Structure 1
Amino acid sequence: MKHGINGVTMCGSCHEAAQNDFESDVHRLINLLSPNPEPSCISCHGSHDVQSGSDILSPIHPKNSPMLCGECHQEEQEEFFRGIHHARLIQDNPDTATCTSCHTAHKVGGSDIPWSTIARPNIAQNCGACHIEAKNDFNRSVHAIANSRGSIHSANCIDCHDAHATLGVHEIQSPTETLNLSKHTCAECHESVELTEMHKLSPNVVGDFEESFHGLAGAMGDRRVANCASCHGYHDILPSWDPNSRIHPANLAQTCGECHEGAEGDFARGGIHHPGKGIGHWLVDFVESMYIMMIAGTIGLMMVHNALDFVRQIRDRRKGHPEVTASGKGKTYLRFTLNERIQHWTLAWSFIVLAITGFALKFGWAIPGLAPELNEDIRAGTHRVAATVFMVLGAYHLGYLALTARGRKTVRDVLPKFKKVSDILCCLLSCERMGPPSGSDWKQLVQNVKYNLGKAKEKPKYGRFNYAEKMEYLALIWGGSLMVVTGLILWFDVLFLNRFPYWGMQLATVVHYFEAILATLAILVWHFYFVMISPAVFPLSKAMITGKLSREEMEHEHPLELEEIEREETKDDAETEDTKPSSSEDERT
């Protein structure tokens, strides 16, 4: 006779406990509703060839149960075969989990049934049968407390480790692998606007982490940097107000000190994930917003200015105006000394290296074929070497300005006389590339724009430096100083964070990053136009190579300086004539 429902009853005459469990089993419900009563006892145990579960030939032997259950649950079977439990199972590990370890053998319940071993409130206890220490840690955590209060959103074991495809923590595809924790696993809940609002969690923690050095370096594949679990723990995640929490203010120095040697008691105070509260975090947001507006406005106006100049020069050439050339014939005039040219090219190369190695961290640029950790070491090391060159050059240049006659003259030629309050204001704005440094320079700018628009008959006459060059030079001094100060803060982070709140580090990061963007765009849009793209110098001004300008170039670009030079030459010639002896004196001699 066929077994089926009657078979369950017949088996239960001996296996009463198993039958009682099976009465609540989801398979029993299917058994009752199915026209062909399956599955039943014999579906798993067989009919006449029933073997003990400890017999390797038995279909319910631990090594065989995934194959047995997989006859119906194929998708779950495929996932299980990818997991670490199956890998240990085929290695004859007697303690590894199989299907019945988690679901039980005869009382299998769905995840929506309160008494089921796989119901959300019971999962930690279920997994804890093997992972005792992890269970004990988890039961103290904020996630376990939320689970015990009935939260269906709070994380448990399978949210981080997966239910069937449980991979080892060091496997690349594992949700708990170092690089995946912050990017995917923790972010799945903590990046959700719905969940953060529903449970009143701190917003933007994921985005803030991704913008930090830890997040950026981790995104490039560096497994040495901290992830979420490095600071919050893995299973015993406690709120920051709990004295036992790794992120309690009293414990931060110890937690951060695992990586940052020398971290002291006040290390990283003031909120790590930028909660948006307090004057410090408000200041960080304000400075970032100001930089964004300043960059958009300044670079946009630079592009408009250059476009007007370019169009006017092209129009003049079509009308037959002669081109200005750097002819090697005739008299030439000193523009840059050898010392100044060496300073310029040293600055240029250090700036280029700093820009490339700095933006490489932000945008994930890497040398193909190298390990991520080696890439980061090369990037950071090269950046710091270039920064050191930049700082040494800056110190040398300040000495050059103060201690040499030509340097002091450069200061006089660039800076306004500061006779008016407007000169001070203009000079400050010029440091951020927001205009010329003096009222007279503003007049030249306005006249030049009018000339380019056809509203003025003549271009303004410039001295040794025009308003564009003054703006660029002052911006270099001010911007370079900001980059040095903020760069040193980021370089010597432990020294800084032992004395100042964490928002100070965030402020330094914002200033360093956006000042770098502003400087790079200004070089590309402003500097490159005047030395490479402008029709007057295309394809390249040779002044910084030869150090000289032709008379034609001086008349076109620096007529006031040329007049000054010629006055000095005339004065020198007159003094020379005055010192010559007269003819009568010669005769007497």
Structure 2
Amino acid sequence: MKFFRYFILSIVPLFFLTATYTNTRGQDFNCLDCHENLIQKSVHNEIIECGDCHTDITDEEHIENGGQKVNCGICHTENADLQKTDIHHRLKVGNRAPDCKTCHGTHEIKSPSESTNIVKDYCSKCHTNIVYTNPFHSKAVSKNICAECHNIEEHQTPLNQSVHSKLNCADCHNHIANNLSTHPEGNGLKQAADCYLCHSKIAAEHRESIHGISLREGINEAAQCWDCHGSHDILQVQNEKNKVFPSNLAATCGRCHDDPNFVQKFSMSIKSPGHSYSLSVHGKLVEAGKLDAATCVTCHGVHDIKNRIMPGSRISSFNVPNTCIHCHKEVTEEYKKSIHWIQAKKGVKEAPVCNDCHSEHDIVAINTIQKKEEIRKIQEETCFKCHQDPIIAIRYGLIGNEARNYQDSYHGLAVMRGDTDAALCIDCHGVHKILPKNYPESTVYKSNIITTCQKCHLDATELFAKSYSHISQTASAKNIEDFVKSLYFWLIIIVIGGMVLHNALIFIYEIRKKRKKGKNEITIPRFTKNEVVQHITLLTSFITLAITGFALKYPVSWWAEGLQIFGMSETVRQNIHRIAAIVMIVLSFYHVLYLIVTRRGRDVLLNLIPKLDDARQAVDNILYYLRINKSKPEFDKYDYTEKAEYWALVWGTVVMGITGFILWFPTIVGEWAPVWLIKVSEIVHFYEAILATLAILVWHWFFVIFHPREYPMSFVWIDGKMSLDSYRHHHERHFKKIILQWYKMKSGNMQRKDLKYSTELFLSTFEKHGLNPDEVIQTELNKDPKLRVWLEQEIEGTKSELN
């Protein structure tokens, strides 16, 4: 078959040569009479005559009329047919597609086999840089072949609307077209499409970008042409549906740079830059239709994108001002006169450039209604960050407390309170052209400082201007300032300390007075000695846990630092905290046994069980203090406040014990536990500690210390005793139960051994202190007619039930 093809290809040219030769010999003149032998150095020399190509010229009339265009296809039929559908003719604009002589020349035609650089010899007239992949005049792979595996219609529709509508599959997928035998298994991602064939100059830029370098290193996730521009649906850049149109760029770049998996895999330093940009002033301007506002490519480049450390990077610290100057020329030129840029040019990496103050992707507008507020945020997040950094201060021999002194001044304090008239850093030092005070152009130079102050203080004088400096003006002034500070420090210690001692004397005196007064009153047991010891142990362990726990969470607080001064290092704090925790846990187990084993404990537990009546009493009590109810509810042995506090203590102890144990021994948490267990335990432990501490301060201490009836404090926690009057005032219902049982015993309806524990405890306590229980109770009945009437009604009711 091949032999037959080559035979036909050889015979056809000879046939045409014979025909034209006969015609040439029919010319009645010699071309060389007027023309030189132009084809002497051509591959056609000695093979054809002039008339073989110029078949229309038969006489000398062509001198005036000219000749027709030569048809190379007379001999080169196959190439002529291929030329009609090659890439040049499909992409031609008007009639500018190259013809035979555009590439091969006219008379001095050289054989392609003699060329040592085909691209240079034949393509360099039009293409300064091109990749040569296929033989010239080669036949393209038919779409029908591609259609055997691919849905051509699916790709053809977007392709027809794209800038590549006149291209065939093989024009872009050139490598695949020439390696169909290994497609698709033998072709990698890099061979998917050959954009470099046409866009070679852009390809060269892309090859040296961070994307191109990453692709050469085998990182296939790096952006290729189609990742940004699309594949079959590439539109004109000016088309607003184009993926690289200004309003679409953030989303296009964000497909990779906002992808959490991509960011994590390649340890990208900035998270979600595309999303941040869309919220920035630049992003909002583009969204509003201002397409000349900065986009990703404005700062990073188009195809030559480089990271910060690559040579020629537009976003390196020393090139950022040159990038920003394209849009912000005036302010950048001002910045380049500042001390910040002077130091940056010297290689001081801490010297701020544009993005150190304004950030990169989430730049906010500062010319809005909230201008002062935005500037204040920049001031706190940028100016203070550097000018309060002790490392920078030590490294460059700075004082380091200027920003703190500003914050302590009226200006700083007023700004923090939201005053929009108070001076910010830029009001005195300038915005971009910031210079030290020893520079004559500086706004705080000695001859300029008064003018600077007078922007706000019209009557400002030289003394006034010097007084509001961040540092002391002279050594003597600093000595006076330090002396006054020390004087007032000790004055505060002495005066306030004296007041504390004075009031402590009064407080102790009142406590002793109340304690002495209570000894003359009839008292009843509220706590047993055992319960007093339990309460004091609980109190001590709880306060210790609170102090040592919050000292860890707030190590720089004044009281935590004070504890460190007195020797509470982290090791000491840790051990004290754990010992206190063990004490509380042991006490909790003992308390449970106490409630179960002892008669007193069972009585306490029984009376502490919440009942529905507690909720009603809580409502009635609130209504009473709101002056809606006229009578205060009568409470049993434990009211709703005491029950709520007790069970809250039980809950808090269990929660703190479990979470504390997990935090103490975190390695015991095995695979059986959810991944959030340790972290959630830490959160619960902290917030439960806050809840418990505040509950003690706000709830418990109010009823035992700050309540007007108890102030300066209740002594029950010390001796377990409570005056009969106080008990009746708050636990009248329980007292009535005791009287009723006492009456039943006196009337012979109940034996003393059958009395409830609380009633027996009351009676035995009276007897133990030399009091007759009958006389005490009778005295209470005589003093209180309402109590007496209640008892009589209960007696009558009991008799009615018996009858």
User: Which TM-score applies when normalising by structure 2?
Assistant: 0.38
Q: Distance in 1 between matches of 2:512 and 2:234?
A: 99
1:97 lines up with 2:97 in the alignment: no
1:167 aligns with 2:355: no
Q: Distance in 2 between matches of 1:11 and 1:246?
A: 56
Picking from 22, 44, 49, the partner of 2:228 is 44
**Counterpart for residue 327 of structure 2:** 130
In structure 2, the residue matched to 1:545 is none
Aligned to 1:147: 344
Contact 1:146 1:154 in 2 (8 A): yes
Instruction: Pick closer, same or farther for the CA change 1:275–1:184 going to 2, 3 Å.
Output: farther
1:243 aligns with 2:422: no
Alignment of 1:61-460 (within 5 A): 61-74=245-258, 75-169=272-366, 177-265=374-462, 267-269=464-466, 272-274=469-471, 278-308=475-505, 311=508
Q: CA deviation at 1:301?
A: 2.2
> How much has 1:39 moved relative to structure 2?
2.3
Q: 1:16-67 CA deviation, whole Å, 9 max, x = no partner?
A: 3322221221111222233647521122123343322222122111111111
1:5 aligned residue: 190
Conservation of the 8 A alpha-carbon contact between 1:79 and 1:164: yes
> Deviation of residue 284 (structure 1)?
0.9
Superposed displacement of residue 206, structure 1: 1.4
Contact 1:53 1:61 in 2 (8 A): yes
How has the CA–CA distance of structure 1 residues 307 and 48 changed in structure 2, closer, same or farther, with 3 Å as cutoff?
Answer: closer
Name 2:215's counterpart in structure 1: 31
Inter-partner Cα distance in structure 1 for 2:474 and 2:256 = 54
Check conservation: 1:144, 1:156, Cα contact below 8 A. Answer: yes
Q: 1:92 to 1:100 in 2, by over 3 A?
A: same
Change (3 A) 1:286 1:172: farther
Q: Could you say what secondary structure the match of 1:44 adopts?
A: helix
| Unpaired segments ≥5 residues, structure 2 | 1-175, 177-186, 259-271, 518-711, 713-803
> 1:161, 1:174 within 8 Å by CA — same for their partners in 2?
no
CA distance in 1, matches of 2:199, 2:509: 100
Query: Residues 319 and 85 from structure 1, CA distance in 2 versus in 1: closer, same or farther, beyond 3 angstroms?
Result: closer
SS of the residue corresponding to residue 124 of structure 1 reads helix
Q: 1:172 to 1:24 in 2, by over 3 A?
A: farther
Judge conservation of contact 1:137–1:235 (CA < 8 Å) in 2. yes
- Rg larger in structure: 2
User: Following the alignment from structure 2 to structure 1, what is the Cα–Cα distance between the partners of residues 510 and 373?
Assistant: 62
User: Is the Cα contact below 8 Å between 2:466 and 2:473 reproduced in 1?
Assistant: no
Say whether residues 1:58 and 2:242 are aligned partners. yes
* Residues 51 and 265 (structure 1), Cα distance of their counterparts in 2 relative to 1, 3 Å cut: same
Q: How far has the Cα of 1:89 moved from its partner?
A: 0.2
Using the alignment, how far apart are the partners of 1:302 and 1:46 within structure 2?
79
Q: 1:182 to 1:292 in 2, by over 3 A?
A: farther
After TM superposition, the score normalised by the length of structure 1 is 0.50
Amino acid at match of 2:285: R
Tell me what 2:205 maps to.
21
1:258–1:175 distance in 2 versus 1, CA, 3 Å: closer
Structure 2 letter corresponding to 1:119? S
For residues 17 and 261 of structure 1, the distance between their equivalents in structure 2, rounded to whole angstroms, comes to 62
| Cα pair 1:25 1:107 within 8 Å, conserved | yes
How well do the aligned residues superpose, as a CA RMSD in angstroms? 2.9
**Alpha-carbon distance change, 59 to 3 in structure 1, aligned in 2, over 3 angstroms:** farther
Alpha-carbon spacing, 1:277–1:109, altered in 2? closer, same or farther (3 Å): farther
CA–CA distance in 1 between the matches of 2:384 and 2:393? Answer: 11
Distance change (3 Å), C-alpha of 1:311 and 1:24? same
Superposition deviation, residue 261 in structure 1: 1.1
The residue type paired with residue 408 of structure 2 is: E
1:94 Cα deviation from its structure 2 partner: 2.6
Distance in 1 of aligned mates of 2:224 and 2:510: 92
SS of 1:177's partner is helix
AA in 2 matched with 1:19:
A
Counterpart of 2:726?
none
Counting matched residue pairs gives: 321
Provide Cα deviations, 1:182-203, integer angstroms capped at 9, x if missing partner: 3332111111111121122232
Give the Cα separation in 1 of the matches to 2:440 and 2:236.
52
**C-alpha distance in 2, partners of 1:16/1:267?**
67
CA deviation profile, 1:84-106 (whole Å, cap 9, x unmatched): 10110011113200000000011
Kept in 2: contact 1:51–1:58 (CA 8 A): yes
Quote the Cα distance in structure 1 between the aligned partners of 2:430 and 2:219.
52
Separation of aligned partners in 2, 1:191 and 1:35? 42
Per-residue deviation, residues 143-198 of structure 1 (Å, max 9, x unmatched) = 11111111211111111111000111156999981322433321111111111211
Which whole-Å CA distance do the structure 1 matches of 2:449 and 2:478 have between them? 19
| Structure of higher RCO (CA pairs closer than 8 Å, 6+ residues apart) | 1
For the 8 Å contact 1:176–1:185, the answer to whether it is kept is no
SS at match of 2:466: coil
Q: Is the 8 A contact 1:7 1:40 kept in 2?
A: no
1:89/1:256 CA distance change after superposition, 3 Å: same
Answer yes or no: is the 8 Å Cα contact 1:80–1:164 preserved in 2.
yes
Could you tell me which runs of 5 or more consecutive residues in structure 1 were left unpaired when the two chains were aligned: 321-534, 536-589
